[in-house]
Amino acid sequence: MTIPAGTYTVDPAHSDVAFTVRHAGISKVRGKFERFEGQIVVAEDLASSTVTVTIDAASINTGDAGRDAHLRSADFWDAENKPTWTFLSTGVEGTEEEFTVTGDLTINEVTRPVALQAEFNGGVVDAFGARRVGFSATTEISRKDFGLTWNAAMETGGFLVGDKVKIELEVEATPTEAEAAETAEAEAQA
């Protein structure tokens, strides 16, 4: 499959920015962010492509209002004073089917390099005539690397919250308005 070159806007209604972290060493807690935006520029040469994403830290949803409030607090990411997380790509390597997107992830005003293992899921024209592309990506980070160090020791040993956080992205994107207008004009002239 070939990724169609162009500039795409992430469709938040059909995308997920989610994470999983160990709880009490015996289970996993999952959460996702409800508000985010992003742009993907697919270049003719895949290595020249770029990705930018902005996440509203306060939009966390783990399915438990008390836990969400605790995550928004200064114990974790202090969403009131540090409201925005970002990802800015620095490189793309691999094939169009499976590739690695490297970049700078900023959480809690701390920036660290990360590598997202990504794959292109295909492109379609939907029932309304809009062109769409889909991607999946995963990475794992240490929350301590981003200053997220709150924890509680357990009587039986170990800690309440694990350090490793798995991040999973399911992204659907559409051409930007300018890109869509340009494509429509080219098709009309053809």
116 with 110: CB under 8 angstroms?
no
pLDDT of amino acid 28? 83
Residue 47 CA from chain centroid, whole number: 19
Residue with tokens 């062109």: 131
- Hey, where are the domains in the chain? 6-185
CA atoms within 13 A on the CB side of 152: 7
Q: What is the amino acid identity at position 166?
A: K
Report the C-alpha gap between 71 and 68 in whole angstroms.
5
pLDDT of amino acid 47? 93
pLDDT of amino acid 98? 87
The CATH code belonging to domain 6-185 is 2.40.128.110
pLDDT of amino acid 93? 95
Query: Residue 166: which residues within 8 A CB-CB, separation 6 or more?
Result: 19, 20, 21, 138, 139, 140
76: left (phi over 0), alpha (psi -120 to 50) or beta: alpha
18 with 31: CB under 8 angstroms?
yes
Q: What is the pLDDT along the chain (190 residues), one digit of tens a residue?
A: 688 899 999 999 999 999 988 776 566 889 999 999 999 999 999 999 999 999 999 999 999 999 899 999 999 889 999 999 999 999 999 988 889 999 999 998 999 999 999 999 999 888 888 899 999 999 999 888 988 775 666 677 666 567 788 999 999 999 987 665 555 555 555 5
Report the C-alpha gap between 37 and 17 in whole angstroms.
10
